Structure 1
């Protein structure tokens, strides 16, 4: 089994997809975003999957997508809730993981808490804060490295992630 060089975790708005694409380009490796993988395979948006099939169905699709993605090598970004699934968390424990940490102020500016983020569609700021409170201990436990993203450009964050991966 090929292992990823790095798996990016963090809440909505942390920059997992943007940073992941740039890290993969910098390292000359493939990039896999598990949310994009799910949307392509299901031919529907994550939001529509939540509405039409429910969160439990989405979480199963997500766990399957993560399990497949981490066998392809390269750089992998997983959905914000993926590490909360016990099987996914167990899988990530043996991987090189970067937790992209972000505060609500920066996250809100990046994602705008749109309806494309189903768990944030009702009272997005309060929901994000609650989700982050629930998820942060898991993110921190799984993290090989924590990279702060607040007030920083994607390029600055990428520099830190690449430095960690390369051990410099």
Structure 2
């Protein structure tokens, strides 16, 4: 049974889904290797990250940790792969949030690399932070889109490419 906290997070997640999906739907594989700067992420990596962050929420609730060494990184080759991955991760996040209990939300979430702890914080704090992290990376993605003449969708208001509000 969802808690007040998980219901609030689920509502926020659902508010961000349409514009995030529109962004991801517009990223063609031919742009995956684009980097605006040598130290920047490739557009494909960034798009996969945006598609993946909802899965992190599921891991935070149900597993309590992510270890980069064993965390499954998908091979995304096409836009269809990217969008399908995003949709599957949303379903997992929604399921975890709908089934969250106070007990599941208690304790810490731990981030590891090859078993070594990198970071640990209360699950509720990290779930809320994951939403912010998701929005931040979607914002980065829109800059990459603009630099590649990919139409940027309306997100919190009209964009130069999408006047719908």
When normalised by structure 1's length, the TM-score is 0.29
Q: Which has the higher contact order (CA 8 A, sep 6+)?
A: 1
Larger radius of gyration: 2
Q: Structure 2 length as normaliser, TM-score?
A: 0.29
